[in-house]
Structure 1
Amino acid sequence: MSILWAAPGQGAQYPGMLHQLPDDPLIQACIAQASAALGEDMLALDSSQALQSTRAVQLCLLIAGVASARLLIQRGHCPDYVAGLSIGAYAAAVIADALDFADAVQLVALRGELMQAAYPSGYGMTAVVGLELGQVEQLVAQVHSPVQPVYLANINADNQLVVAGSVAGMAALAELAKAAGAGAVKVLAVSVPSHCELLAAPAARLAEAFAKVNVCPPKVRYLSSSSARLILDADKLRDDLAYNMCRVVNWQHTLQTAFERGVRLHLELPPGAVLTGLARRVFKAGTVVAFQGARLDTLDVLLNQASRQDR
């Protein structure tokens, strides 16, 4: 039984998320390392006010994912696969020893700044539940225009899609989606239009910064949430990380790829359990669990059992 560690994306954040990580010296050391990399206190970034910033949100997500993974590794565990939804890919790359944590902190800080500067207001992301991909694509084509751009951004499940774009464009699409029978339409806690061509220019600038950073071939099998494929090459990983902000996330197919490759235990790293809910649709014959809310000794048992079965 192979094991996948999955890191969530923007929208999973909540106030106090770093302060609620396990009280362990290794966790504190990880937070301190991130603070040193930027010369600021990372624990000041998870307040309600601070989390209004895209930069703060993305840094908190990176730190939470890496810190919890390091704690599990210290306890003797190791994943067979890693994957991350959007910004979660950076935590996955660090866990796979492909990207130095301090470099990741600096790159994520820049990523958040570039995204926020490009669209400081008037844009975001909206989830549409209950419609199929073809239906949402038709609605996007119907609504999208230069004055109210809207794009398909995430394929999270067969009936859970996310669109990104202007507030006006998303509002127009939301009305059509409800009329078409959508079970729910929800504006997400994301203040930028991620995973569409609106972020192509910021992604290109981030790629320039990535060119100056050492990226290694992953030591743990890394699944791209954009292509839903395994990435083994350092340059391809560099491209995947730099440009994932402007590429559609296909999390549904990423999970399917993991399942087809023998993954039967899906562990979601902090914060939250959004990915756990999505994984239950794919891993019906396996086990899905979220780090958050689980006892460490319970996780030890699950991970040890899965490792023994894999052997």
Structure 2
Amino acid sequence: MSSFWVYPGQGAQQPNMLHCLPSEVLVDECLREASDALNEDVLLLDAPEALQSTRAVQLCLLIAGVACSRLLMAQGSHPDYVGGLSIGAYPAAVISGALGFADAVRLVALRGELMQDAYPEGYGMTALIGLDQAHVEQLIAEVHGAEAPVYLANINADNQFVIAGSNAAMAQVAALAKAQGAAAAKRLAVSVPSHCALLEAPAKALAEAFSQVTVQTPGIRYLSGSSARLVPSADKLRDDLAFNMCRVIDWRSTVQTAYERGVRLQIELPPGTVLTGLARRVFEQGSAVAFQGARLDTLSALSREEEHRNP
């Protein structure tokens, strides 16, 4: 049996999320390292008003994921697989040993700036719950056009999808979805149209920055949230990280791949519990738990138990 550490994407952020991290020396060191990399105090990034910025949100998610992973690892826990949804891929890459934390902090700051500068207003993402993929794609096709761009962005579960595009186009799709039986259509706390062709130009700019950064072969097996496949080399990981902002996220298949490879313990790093709920739909056996709200010793015990099953 194996363990899988997963990292959430934008929309999972919570006010004061960095201030609510465990009061531990390792966490303080992580916050200091991130502040030094940016030459600014990262504890200013998690205020409610600061989290209106895509850059701030993505940095907070990266820092929280790495800090709490380091706490678990200091307890002797180590994942067999790592993976992240969208920006969550960056803490996953750091914990895999493929990307230095300081480099990740600077790249994520640039990533957020590129995304928010490309679409400062009028765009975003909306979750649709209760329809199958074919139905969602049909509704998108009815609305999408040059003046009303809208795309399938995330495949989260068999009946849970996220669309991205202009506010007007998403509102049209949401209205059609509700009229045709969708249980919910919820605008997400994301102010850019991620995981679609609208972000191809920012992705190319980020790829240029990645070419100046050292990326190594993952030391822990890294599952791409876009392709749902293992990423075996530094070059492929660099491509996965730079371009995941403009590629559809297939988290449903990513979790399924992990389960088929023998994963029976998924731990979701902060913030939130959304990925835990999605995993429970796939895990017929085993456990899916979230760091947030759990005791550190409980998570460590679960990890040790899984390691003993998989010597």
Give the aligned partner of residue 58 of structure 1.
58
Partner of 1:292: 292
Gaps of 5+ in 2: none
Find the counterpart in structure 1 of residue 107 from structure 2: 107
Alignment of 1:137 with 2:137, yes or no, is yes
The equivalent of 1:177 in structure 2 is: 177
Indicate the residue corresponding to 2:35 in structure 1: 35
What TM-score results when the alignment is normalised by the length of structure 2?
A: 1.00
For the residue of structure 1 that corresponds to 2:199, the secondary structure is helix
Q: Secondary structure at the match of 1:87?
A: helix
- Partners of 1:267 and 1:254 lie apart in 2 by 14
Matched residues in 1 for 2:145 and 2:93: separation? Answer: 36
Q: Which runs of 4+ in 1 moved over 4 A?
A: none
Matched residue SS, 1:230: coil
Quote the residue 2:309 is aligned against: 309
TM-score (norm 1): 1.00
SS at match of 1:186: strand
| Residue in 1 that maps onto 2:23 | 23
Rounded Cα–Cα distance in structure 2 between residues aligned with 1:241 and 1:299: 28
Alignment partner of 1:265: what SS?
A: strand
Shift of 1:152: 0.2
Give 1:178-257 correspondences, 5 Å limit.
178-257=178-257
Q: State the shift of 1:310 in Å.
A: 1.1
1:154 aligned onto 2:160? no
Are 1:265 and 2:265 an aligned pair?
Answer: yes
SS in 2 for 1:164: strand
Q: CA deviation at 1:284?
A: 2.4
Deviations 1:135-166 (A, max 9, x none): 00000000001111000000000000000000
- Write the deviation string for residues 156-182 of structure 1: whole angstroms up to 9, x where unpaired: 000000000000000000000001100
SS of the counterpart of 1:165?
A: strand
Give me the CA root mean square deviation: 0.4
Q: Are 1:76 and 2:76 counterparts? A: yes
User: 1 CA distance for matches of 2:19 and 2:96?
Assistant: 25
2:123 — aligned with what?
Answer: 123
Determine the C-alpha separation between the residues in 1 that align with 2:97 and 2:297.
25
Secondary structure of 2:86's match? coil
Q: Deviations over 1:226-270 (max 9, x none)?
A: 000000110000000000000000000000000000000000000
Aligned residues: 311
Q: Distance in 2 between matches of 1:66 and 1:275?
A: 17
CA distance in 2, matches of 1:231, 1:303: 23
Displacement of 1:73 in angstroms is: 0.7
Unaligned runs of 5+ in 1: none
Counterpart CA distance in 1 for 2:237 and 2:127 is 28
Q: Give the aligned residue type for 1:263.
A: V
| Secondary structure at the counterpart of residue 249 of structure 2 | coil
Q: Which amino acid aligns with 2:23?
A: D
Work out the percentage of aligned pairs sharing the same amino acid: 68
